[in-house]
Structure 1
């Protein structure tokens, strides 16, 4: 469990800098260069992600159950996951989905975390998915109180909504049917 917690701390450390002190983030990025900031941010995030994967793989085998969710919640989780991949794609495409949700990646993270909390009752899973849900909520709240930072995006197009939906649904299907069991070892449907 310790490795999972360390991984979460390392992963969220760079992700929380703008939440805690966006002015310090901007000054630091300016002094070391935006590319230097993004490189350090990415390296810390990758190390944290690697620790999370290994820590969760280890912790889920020995973690105690806090609750045993009813089987019907898996259907609710599957429905909550349906828009997740669409929102992830819409994050990078200027479209109505992006404008309506304002921060599609954060909405996707909240839905992903909530859906997994509904169907997983072990302590390790509650720590993992609860951390992401809390982080997404904190970031969303902080975004209301700090200046908007320009992010690179693809050109605006009327087809971007269609692309986000089609590609998102295709990714959902591939992940639910094949990749989830291959990468996580759990078959979402069955």
Structure 2
């Protein structure tokens, strides 16, 4: 459990620092260091945290069971993952109606992913991991709102290709995870028994 917790502290420490850092001219550390060095350091710290919490998550198996969800919740999780992956893709494609409506599609995707996995998994390591991601996404969204970051500007042009790409990439990622990569990544099948 130590590596899981330490990894989450490092990973979310970097993310929360970034969310709450001063953006005032002359006080923004990203401006002081330069964009490239700042992002390089941010990525390095995040990668260390990611590696530690993934290792710690796997090392906790078998984990104590806090609750046993009904089988139907695992199926609900499967349904929730499709829009989560489409929203995740929408965060990286040209601004379309999806991104404009959702404002911060990556954070919404993380909330859906974490919530769905909390519904389907009652092991201690899962509750710690997915609960942490859900809590972070809520905190970061509040921070964005306080900074006045409401996503794309109301008059931002909308690209239908952005939506088409988001749906296509999201569906492809869903199928890739469902039928192949989820068991490799997590050691657990994505499809419920």
TM-score by length of structure 2 reads 0.90
Tell me the equivalent position of 2:22: 22
5+ unaligned residues in a row in structure 2: which ranges?
none
Runs of 4+ in structure 1 off by over 6 angstroms are: none
Q: State the partner residue of 1:56.
A: 57
Structure-2 residue corresponding to 1:109: 110
Per-residue CA deviations over 1:67-91 (Å, capped at 9, x if unaligned) read: 0111111111111111111111100
> Counterpart in 2 of 1:131?
132
Rounded to whole Å, the distance in 1 between the matches of 2:107 and 2:151 is 17
Whole-angstrom distance in 2 between the partners of 1:145 and 1:125: 30
Given that 1:19 and 1:138 are in contact with CA atoms closer than 8 Å, whether structure 2 keeps it comes out as no
Shift of 1:148: 3.6
Question: Who is 2:165 aligned against?
Answer: 163
Unaligned runs of 5+ in 1: none
**SS at structure 1 position matched to 2:51:** helix
Cα separation, 1, equivalents of 2:28 and 2:20: 14
Q: For residues 26 and 135 of structure 1, do their structure 2 counterparts lie closer, same or farther at Cα, with a shift above 3 Å needed?
A: farther
How many residues of Structure 1 are paired with residues of Structure 2 in the alignment? Answer: 186
Query: Which secondary structure state, in structure 2, belongs to the residue aligned with residue 144 of structure 1?
Result: helix
> 1:16, 1:6 → 2: CA distance?
15
Q: Are the aligned partners of 1:22 and 1:146 in contact in 2 as well (CA < 8 Å)?
A: no
